[in-house]
C-alpha cells in the first residue's frame, strides 16, 4: 500500500480521546485491544471531519436508522439493503445526501419517501430552482413530503417501523438521515482550541489554528467565503483535499495558502443534475446587498442535435456594479458541470459585462451557439 | 527518536492529503496518523 511506501504510520481503529496542549501529547485508545497510551507530538493536525446531525426525538437510537458520513456507514446501508431486503425507505432531509440516497434506493427497487421541513428540497438553491428539483424527485418515483417536521420514530422490537411527522406517520423498513452535518470539533474545543462558524475550528489561510503548532483541515475546519467575505462552513471532500494539501505543504516546511471557497456544489437525482455556486437570494439579502437575477431555460446541446435536453440557469448579480454573486443550474446530463464557469468567474470577481464575451466552447453536440450560461448572463445584464 | 514528530488525527481526505504532502517535503519527519474507523482515505 502506498501509505507504507510513503512511510506514514497510519493506525486504523485508533481513536484520539484527548489533546494535552501543555505537554504536547494526545491520549489514544486502540479500539481493538482497549489499550490506551499517550503519544507525543511536535506538530498536530486535527482532521476529525464532520458528524451527521442526529435528531433528538423518540426512537432515534432504533435499529434501521442510518446516517451517512464515512465509507463504513455507506457499507452498512448497502448491507442492510442486500440482506434485509427492505421494501420501503424514508429519507429525512432533502439535501444532497437525501437526493443521492433517494436515487440509489429507487434504483434498488424500494418505495422511497422523502421528508423535508422546508417548502423545497435542496435548500441551498433559491425556491424557484428548488421547485424544479422537488419535481425531479417526484418524476423519479419518490414520494415527497415538504414542510413536514420529523417528530418521532415508531419502533418495534428495537427496529424502526415508522416515521412520525407533524402531519402523518409513514410506515417504513429503514430510515436514512440526511439532516446535515456539523464539524467534529469536540476534541479540539475541550483542549481550548478556538472555533468559529457552527463550531468549526478557526484557522488562518495556512491552516494554522490559533494555537502554535496545531493545524486543522477538512470538514472539522472553518473556511472563508470569497463572495460574502465572511467565515463560512462547508463539508465537502474537494475542499478537505485542498485544505489538507495546503496544511501538508506548510507542515513540510513549504509555504501555501488556501484563500477560501465560493460555495460550489453539485448533486443529482436520477436524470436531473443540480448545481449551485456563490450566494443564493436569502444570503444576498442577509448581507444587505441589492441584486438582480435572471432565469432562463435552454438546451444542453444545439436544439436540432440528438440528445438535446432541458437546462435551466439562474444567475444573480449585484445591482449597479453588475458583479456576479451566484448561479444555479438544474437540467439533464451535461448541465451541472457548467456551474464551473460561474464558479471561476466568482473567483475572478467578474462583473457580468466581463463575462458576456467569454470564449466558451461550442459545437452542436455540446451547446447551442450561445451557451445557456451566457444566455442567462445576457439576460441579467439588462437588469443591472 | 530525535526526529520531529507530526501527529495527524483523522485518516480521511484532509488528514492523508496533508500527511502525503508533508512526507514529500520532509523525508525525516516522523508521521503518525490515528484513524478511529477501519479505513484511511479512499479518495485522497
pLDDT band at B41 (very low <50, low <70, confident <90, very high): confident
Residues A100 and A90 in one domain: yes
Residues A163 and A209 in one domain: no
Chain segment A131-183, per-residue pLDDT in tens = 999 999 999 999 999 999 999 999 999 999 999 999 999 999 999 999 999 99
Under an 8 A CB cutoff, do B37 and A11 touch? no
Sequence-distant (≥ 6) Cβ neighbours of residue A182 within 8 angstroms: A50, A51, A53, A198, A199
| Residues of B whose CB is below 8 A from A217 | 14-15, 17-18
Does residue A265 lie within any of the structural domains?
Answer: no
> CB of A236 within 8 Å of any CB in chain B?
no
> CB of B2 within 8 Å of any CB in chain A?
no
Number of domains in chain A: 3
> Could you tell me the residue range of the domain that residue B20 belongs to?
5-34
Q: Residues in chain B, how many?
A: 44
pLDDT band at B43 (very low <50, low <70, confident <90, very high): low
- A263-266 long-range CB contacts below 8 Å, 24 or more apart? A263/A124, A263/A225, A263/A227, A263/A232, A263/A234, A263/A326, A264/A339, A264/A340, A264/A343, A265/A96, A265/A124, A265/A236, A266/A336, A266/A337, A266/A339
Does residue B42 lie within any of the structural domains?
Answer: no
Sequence-distant (≥ 6) Cβ neighbours of residue A71 within 8 angstroms: B37, B39, B42
N- to C-terminal Cα separation, chain A:
55
Nearest CA in chain B to A29: B36
Provide mean pLDDT across the span B2-29: 95
What was the ipTM of the complex prediction? 0.95
**pLDDT at residue A383, rounded to an integer:** 98
**Averaged pLDDT score across all residues of chain A:** 97
Poorest-confidence range of A4-13, A40-49, A106-115? Answer: A4-13
**pLDDT at residue A3, rounded to an integer:** 62
Does residue B43 lie within any of the structural domains?
Answer: no
Residues A95 and A172 in one domain: yes
Does residue A256 lie within any of the structural domains?
Answer: no
Residues A130 and A218 in one domain: no
Does residue B23 lie within any of the structural domains?
Answer: yes
Residues A175 and A62 in one domain: yes
Residues A220 and A301 in one domain: no
DSSP-based three-state secondary structure for A281: helix
Nearest to B23 among A7, A39, A49 (CB): A7
Q: What is the rounded CA–CA span in Å between residue A144 and residue A165?
A: 13
Nearest-Cα distance to chain B for A190, in Å, is: 15
Chain A (25-84) residues lying within 8 Å, Cβ to Cβ, of chain B = 26, 28, 31, 39-49, 70-72
Under an 8 A CB cutoff, do B24 and A252 touch? yes
pLDDT band at A6 (very low <50, low <70, confident <90, very high): confident
Under an 8 A CB cutoff, do A14 and B17 touch? no
> Could you tell me the residue range of the domain that residue A106 belongs to?
52-181
Number of domains in chain B: 1
Percent of chain A with pLDDT over 70: 99
Q: Phi/psi at A84 (nearest 5 deg)?
A: -85, -15
Does residue A16 lie within any of the structural domains?
Answer: yes
Under an 8 A CB cutoff, do B37 and A237 touch? no
By C-alpha distance, which of A217, A219, A150, A153 is closest to A181?
A219
Under an 8 A CB cutoff, do A49 and B12 touch? yes
Chain segment A32-55, per-residue pLDDT in tens = 999 999 999 999 999 999 999 999
Does residue B29 lie within any of the structural domains?
Answer: yes
Chain segment A216-234, per-residue pLDDT in tens = 999 999 999 999 999 999 9
Residues A189 and A156 in one domain: no
pLDDT band at B42 (very low <50, low <70, confident <90, very high): low
| Residues of A whose CB is below 8 A from B38 | 12-13, 72
Chain A (198-227) residues lying within 8 Å, Cβ to Cβ, of chain B = 215, 217-221
Residues A97 and A217 in one domain: no
Check: pTM over 0.90? Answer yes or no: yes
Question: Is the pLDDT confidence value at A85 over 70?
Answer: yes
Sequence-distant (≥ 6) Cβ neighbours of residue A73 within 8 angstroms: A52, A66, A67
What is the domain-level CATH number for residue A34? Answer: 3.50.50.60
Nearest to A253 among B25, B36, B37 (CB): B25
**pLDDT at residue A69, rounded to an integer:** 84
Contact A132, A144 (CB under 8 A): no
Chain segment A314-365, per-residue pLDDT in tens = 999 999 999 999 999 999 999 999 999 999 999 999 999 999 999 999 999 9
pLDDT band at B3 (very low <50, low <70, confident <90, very high): confident
| Residues of B whose CB is below 8 A from A187 | 9
Contact A220, A45 (CB under 8 A): no
Residues A129 and A139 in one domain: yes
Residues A36 and A110 in one domain: no
Nearest CA in chain B to A26: B7
Choose one of A219, A251, A283: the last residue of a domain.
A251
| Residues of A whose CB is below 8 A from B25 | 249, 252-254
Does residue A257 lie within any of the structural domains?
Answer: no
Question: Is the pLDDT confidence value at A200 over 70?
Answer: yes
Nearest-Cα distance to chain A for B2, in Å, is: 11
Does residue B18 lie within any of the structural domains?
Answer: yes
Nearest-Cα distance to chain A for B1, in Å, is: 11
Residues A74 and A170 in one domain: yes
What is the domain-level CATH number for residue A291? Answer: 3.30.390.30
Residues A81 and A167 in one domain: yes
Question: Is the pLDDT confidence value at B2 over 80?
Answer: no
Q: What is the rounded CA–CA span in Å between residue A233 and residue A224?
A: 8
Amino acid at each position: 500500500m502506498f501509505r507504507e511506501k510513503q512511510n506514514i504510520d497510519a493506525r486504523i481503529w485508533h481513536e484520539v480521546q484527548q489533546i494535552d496542549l501543555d505537554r504536547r501529547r494526545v491520549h489514544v485508545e486502540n479500539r481493538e485491544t482497549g489499550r490506551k497510551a499517550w503519544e507525543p507530538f511536535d506538530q498536530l493536525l486535527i482532521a476529525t471531519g464532520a458528524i451527521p446531525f442526529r435528531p433528538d426525538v423518540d426512537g432515534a437510537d432504533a435499529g434501521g436508522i442510518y446516517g451517512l458520513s464515512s465509507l463504513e456507514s455507506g457499507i452498512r446501508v448497502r448491507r442492510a439493503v442486500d440482506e434485509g431486503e427492505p421494501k420501503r425507505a424514508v429519507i429525512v432531509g432533502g439535501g444532497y445526501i437525501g437526493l443521492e440516497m433517494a436515487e440509489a434506493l429507487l434504483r434498488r427497487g424500494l418505495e422511497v419517501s422523502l421528508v423535508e421541513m422546508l417548502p423545497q428540497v435542496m435548500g441551498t438553491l433559491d425556491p424557484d430552482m428548488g421547485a424544479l428539483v422537488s419535481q425531479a424527485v417526484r418524476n423519479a418515483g419518490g414520494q415527497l413530503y415538504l414542510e413536514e417536521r420529523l417528530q418521532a420514530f415508531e419502533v418495534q422490537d428495537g427496529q424502526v417501523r415508522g416515521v412520525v411527522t407533524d402531519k402523518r406517520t409513514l410506515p417504513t423498513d429503514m430510515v436514512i438521515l440526511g439532516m446535515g452535518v456539523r464539524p467534529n470539533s469536540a476534541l479540539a474545543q475541550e483542549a481550548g482550541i478556538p472555533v468559529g462558524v457552527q463550531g468549526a475550528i478557526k484557522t488562518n489561510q495556512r491552516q494554522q489554528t490559533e494555537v502554535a503548532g496545531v493545524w486543522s483541515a477538512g470538514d472539522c475546519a472553518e473556511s472563508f467565503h470569497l463572495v460574502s467575505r465572511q467565515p463560512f462552513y462547508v463539508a465537502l471532500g474537494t475542499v478537505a483535499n485542498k485544505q489538507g494539501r495546503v496544511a501538508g505543504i506548510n507542515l513540510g516546511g513549504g509555504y501555501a495558502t488556501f484563500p477560501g471557497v465560493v460555495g460550489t456544489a453539485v448533486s443529482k437525482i436520477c436524470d436531473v443534475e443540480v448545481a449551485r455556486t456563490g450566494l443564493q437570494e436569502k444570503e444576498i439579502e442577509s448581507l444587505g446587498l441589492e441584486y438582480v437575477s435572471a432565469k432562463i431555460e435552454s438546451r444542453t446541446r444545439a436544439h436540432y442535435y440528438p440528445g438535446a435536453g432541458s437546462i435551466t440557469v439562474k444567475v444573480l448579480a449585484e445591482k449597479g456594479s453588475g458583479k456576479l454573486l451566484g448561479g444555479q443550474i438544474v437540467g439533464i446530463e451535461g448541465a451541472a458541470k457548467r456551474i464551473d464557469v460561474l464558479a471561476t468567474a466568482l473567483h475572478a470577481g467578474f462583473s457580468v459585462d466581463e463575462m458576456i464575451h467569454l470564449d466558451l466552447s461550442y459545437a452542436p453536440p455540446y451547446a447551442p451557439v450561445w451557451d445557456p450560461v451566457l444566455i442567462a448572463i445576457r439576460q441579467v445584464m439588462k437588469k443591472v | 527518536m530525535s526526529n520531529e514528530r507530526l501527529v495527524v488525527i483523522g485518516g480521511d481526505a484532509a488528514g492523508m492529503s496533508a500527511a502525503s504532502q508533508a512526507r514529500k517535503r520532509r523525508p525525516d519527519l516522523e508521521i503518525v496518523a490515528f484513524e478511529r474507523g477501519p479505513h484511511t482515505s479512499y479518495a485522497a
